Amino acid sequence: MTILKILTYPDQTLRRPTSELDNIDGDVQQMIDQMSETMYDAPGVGLAAIQVGWDKSVLIYDIAAADQDRSLQVLINPRIVDQEGEILSEDEGCLSVPEFRADVKRYSSILVKGVDREGRPIELEAEGMLAIVLQHEIDHLKGKLFIDHVSALKRQLYTRRMKKKLRSK
């Protein structure tokens, strides 16, 4: 098992926009396996490649409940092609933004297009929890973090807290 290091705020790599993946080879499959081991170990419900320093448009997620079987989903080169409505994502969090949670406004329904890990086209209609997770992970692929959706003041306070913590290490 390989657990990759998850980059955390304010690491600037997290701000790097990712590029599309056009060749899904064995190395990519191996990287996806390592991402999934890392996500389950954390544990988290979603992980974008850039969070482990890989600047490709790849995300994984599993929103199965704790008492259900694992259901790993892989989405490559995803893009939101349609969106509507509004939902408040309560207490949203991120493995790359430790010790911070906030309510975030998200679209309640989205339509996502991309390809799966075999390169087959996928079209996904998502609502509720799944829509929130996908918007969060697709943001990562553009170098955006959920903390960018909260007020500048909250973000400043958090940044100060994290810098202090880094200094005291």
Q: Quote the CA–CA distance of 108 and 102 in Å, as a whole number.
A: 17
- The residues, ordered by sequence, that sit 6+ positions from 109 with a Cβ below 8 Å of its Cβ are 83, 84, 85, 125, 126, 127, 131
Dihedral in degrees, nearest 10, Cα atoms 74, 75, 80, 83: -20
| Residue among 14, 24, 58, 94 that touches Ni ion (CB under 5 A) | 94
Give the contact letters, 50-89, x = binds to Ni ion (CB under 5 A), - = no. Answer: ----------------------------------------
In the complex, which residue's CB is closest to Ni ion?
94
Nearer to Ni ion, 69 or 159 (CB): 159
**Taking the chain, what is the end-to-end CA distance rounded to the nearest angstrom?**
28
Nearer to Ni ion, 94 or 110 (CB): 94
Smallest separation, CB 16 to Ni ion (Å): 14
Interface positions with Ni ion (CB under 5 A): 94
